[in-house]
Amino acid sequence: MSLRIGDDAPNFTAQTTEGELNFHQWLGDSWGIIYSHPADFTPVCTTELGRTAQLKREFQKRDTKVIAVSTDDLESHDWWIKDINETQNTKVEFPIIADPDKEVSSLYDMIHPNFSTTAAVRSVYFINPSKKILAVITYPASTGRNFTEIVRVLDSLQLTAKYNVATPVDWEVGQDVIISTSVKKEDLETKFPKGHRVVNPYLRYTPQPD
């Protein structure tokens, strides 16, 4: 199964380090990130899960729930969390799915056979409150994720879901954004009261609306 932007995020019920959960029910009306790990007790994953825990307040501010997937069992996860907390000086307080049968990993296309038939790649799925996949980032097992970029993408998705804008190259929160080409010239002042500047007819900027 190959998941693409705009697809429904598949639902599932799974055992996690915070008990059994139904994914869609657990998400509720929140935004969500589900991301995968090749295996427990792998050094890069340990740093990633630690960083996720350290960013707890940032995800909370964005009304976003984060859940991890690893293809080991719950007992292994519980021991691993102790290592993560100790080595990364944090406290993991989000669920990690036990996926020894690779059911969730396969459902979310996290197993890439040309890379490995057993280990998941580093996939990240961004899911909106309507349970639609809005973005996907995939890394090989050898490359740790950039969580500054993950938070930046989340900010962009939430902003562009609310306003008729797009975020330009290297955009960061607080910088100008690009007005959608679907917005008519005569509607610019009404839709963007902070003002706008025109570079050419299809490239128009406005201060970040929110």
Q: Could you report the per-residue pLDDT of 95-137, keeping only the tens digit for each?
A: 999 999 999 999 999 988 777 766 788 999 999 999 999 999 9
Residue closest to 42 by CA, chosen among 93, 76, 89, 92: 76
Burial class, 186, CB count within 10 angstroms (exposed 0-12 / middle 13-18 / buried 19+): exposed
The predicted pLDDT at position 121 comes to 83
Is residue 9 within 8 Å of residue 65, measured between CB atoms?
A: no
Is 11 marked active-site? no
Asked if residue 41 lies in contact with residue 83, where contact means CB atoms within 8 angstroms, the answer is yes
Residue indicated by tokens 């292994």: 76
CATH superfamily of 13-145: Glutaredoxin (3.40.30.10)
Q: What is the mean pLDDT of the chain?
A: 95
**pTM assigned to the model:** 0.94
Q: How far apart are CA 208 and CA 45, in angstroms?
A: 34
Tell me, what's the pLDDT at 157?
A: 98
Q: Report phi then psi at 78, rounded to 5.
A: -60, -40
Segments making up each domain of the chain, as ranges: 13-145, 163-206
Helix (H, G, I), strand (E, B) or coil at 135: strand
What kind of fold does domain 163-206 have according to CATH? Answer: Antioxidant, Horf6; Chain A, domain 2 (3.30.1020)
Give whole-number Cα distances, 37 to 104, 132, 160, 182, in Å.
12, 22, 29, 40
Per-residue pLDDT of 180-204, as tens digits, reads 999 999 999 999 999 999 999 999 9
What pairing do the DSSP bridges indicate for beta strands 96-98 and 64-70? parallel
CA dist., res. 109 & res. 146, Å (int): 21
Q: Is 60 exceeded by the pLDDT of residue 156? A: yes
Note the pLDDT tens digit of each residue in 19-73. Answer: 999 999 999 999 999 999 988 999 999 999 999 999 999 999 999 999 999 999 9
Q: Annotated catalytic residue: which of 33, 45, 98, 165?
A: 45
